[in-house]
């Protein structure tokens, strides 16, 4: 029966097309661009879905199939005049679903990578829902970025020495969520400085976790200095450099004359 699943999917697709055309003929709906786009995506989802059903051991058709299904349903919602957040939620949820399936199917050892797209897509899907409910933009961004950071931090926690690299994207996304929220209170001019400081702290954490990663101190220091320079206090701080050079020059000259005076 499994190898004949494509016939079932094709039959359902033909029925859907027939129903849509009938409703259009009765002038109950208007076949606009969104509706045709939805139909095309649902057709693609049916093709990939039939491939997976014919051989469930091959999980790869689930990825394009579920993505097409999620956004196809989303476009159908758009054609029906439903809220935009519902369109986004459908698309993100459908896109995240196959990666969760792969993760639980393969287990942590082999399917850990699937947590990354699953977590990111789920986070921004939840963010679109919160935005649709009228919650503040800062909270939406916080949920999106922090939710995107969670899978990377989970991968790091699985093996801190081997998966140290996951701290970089995980830490950056976590700080992005915090910084965009703080920028609402401190002012947008502080956002570049806070972002660079946050990334510098991520590299510093990599060094602290494993002292063999001494190289992480280099980007940490560079990013911290640049972060100071691009901030609101940057102009005043950059003025200190020429002043420091002048004072250094004066010190060298005075010290030279004092040493000569002592010798004579």
Q: Cα(229)–Cα(196) distance, rounded to whole angstroms? A: 10
pTM (two decimals): 0.68
Q: What is the length of the chain?
A: 264
- Tell me what pLDDT residue 67 has: 92
Asked whether the beta carbons of 166 and 174 are under 8 A apart, the reply is no
- Tell me what pLDDT residue 191 has: 72
Q: Cα(130)–Cα(147) distance, rounded to whole angstroms? A: 13
Q: Cα(138)–Cα(178) distance, rounded to whole angstroms? A: 9
* Tens digits of pLDDT across the chain (264 residues): 445 555 666 667 667 767 766 776 776 666 566 677 787 788 888 878 878 877 788 888 899 989 989 998 888 888 778 888 888 889 999 999 999 999 998 888 888 899 999 999 999 888 888 888 888 877 888 888 889 999 998 898 888 878 888 888 888 888 888 777 776 666 666 677 777 887 888 888 888 877 788 788 888 877 777 777 666 555 555 555 565 666 677 777 777 767 666 665
């Amino acid at each position: 029966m499994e190898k004949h699943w494509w016939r079932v999917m094709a039959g359902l697709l033909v029925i859907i097309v027939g129903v849509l055309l009938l409703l259009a003929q009765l002038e109950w709906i208007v076949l606009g661009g969104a509706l045709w786009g939805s139909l095309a995506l649902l057709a693609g989802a049916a093709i990939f879905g039939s491939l997976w059903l014919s051989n469930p051991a091959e999980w790869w058709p689930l990825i394009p199939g579920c993505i097409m299904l999620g956004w196809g349903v989303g476009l159908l919602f758009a054609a029906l005049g439903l809220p935009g957040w519902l369109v986004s939620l459908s698309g993100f949820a459908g896109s995240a679903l196959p990666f969760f399936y792969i993760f639980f199917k393969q287990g942590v050892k082999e399917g850990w990578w699937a947590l990354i797209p699953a977590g990111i897509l789920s986070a921004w899907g939840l963010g679109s829902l919160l935005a649709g409910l009228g919650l503040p933009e800062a909270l939406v961004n916080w949920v999106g970025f922090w939710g995107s950071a969670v899978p990377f931090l989970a991968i790091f926690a699985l093996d801190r020495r081997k998966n140290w690299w996951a701290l970089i994207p995980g830490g950056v996304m976590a700080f992005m969520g915090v910084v965009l929220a703080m920028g609402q209170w401190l002012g947008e001019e502080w956002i570049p400085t806070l972002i660079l400081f946050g990334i510098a702290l991520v590299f510093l954490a990599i060094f602290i976790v494993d002292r063999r990663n001494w190289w992480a101190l280099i980007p940490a220091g560079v990013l911290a200095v640049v972060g100071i320079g691009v901030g609101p206090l940057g102009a005043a701080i950059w003025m200190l450099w020429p002043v420091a050079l002048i004072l250094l020059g004066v010190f060298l000259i005075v010290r030279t004359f004092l040493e000569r005076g002592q010798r004579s």
